[in-house]
């Protein structure tokens, strides 16, 4: 999928990848790959500015975790606002997706314009 198209929806993608539970950056990328069948081709580093931006917006929280091997990782978690934002964006996306499908399939939604 095109990088620019993906970037426009990156925040929603990251929020969705964190919905199952807290994760660090690499695990988020892996989760996105796993759930999309590697359909998204985005520079992996792009995820980090998005994580920082979402944290600043209060949609994520983060903390340092040190593993048994001594490696420090920043683990991100959805906040309540983040969970709500994901639900809102999912609803908007679903509506948009249905409309595009209808348009491409040549169907009419039956709703007034």
Out of 13, 14, 17, 24, name the contact with another protein by CB under 8 A: 24
- Residue 26 in contact with another protein, rule: CB under 8 A: yes
- Residue 56 in contact with another protein, rule: CB under 8 A: yes
Contact 60, 51 (CB under 8 A): yes
Out of 50, 60, 78, 86, name the contact with another protein by CB under 8 A: 50
Q: Where are the alpha helices (DSSP H) in the chain?
A: 3-7, 10-18, 25-36, 47-56, 80-105
Interacting residues toward another protein by CB under 8 A: 7, 10, 24-26, 29, 43-46, 48-50, 52-53, 56-57, 71-74
């Amino acid at each position: 999928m095109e990088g620019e198209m993906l970037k426009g929806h990156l925040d929603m993608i990251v929020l969705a990848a964190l919905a199952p539970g807290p994760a660090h950056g690499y695990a988020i990328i892996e989760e996105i790959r796993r759930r999309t069948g590697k359909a998204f081709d985005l520079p992996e580093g792009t995820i980090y500015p998005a994580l920082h931006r979402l944290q600043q917006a209060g949609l994520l929280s983060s903390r340092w975790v040190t593993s048994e091997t001594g490696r420090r990782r920043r683990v991100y978690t959805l906040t309540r606002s983040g969970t709500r934002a994901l639900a809102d964006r999912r609803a908007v996306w679903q509506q948009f997706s249905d409309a595009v499908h209808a348009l491409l399939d040549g169907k009419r939604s039956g709703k007034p314009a």
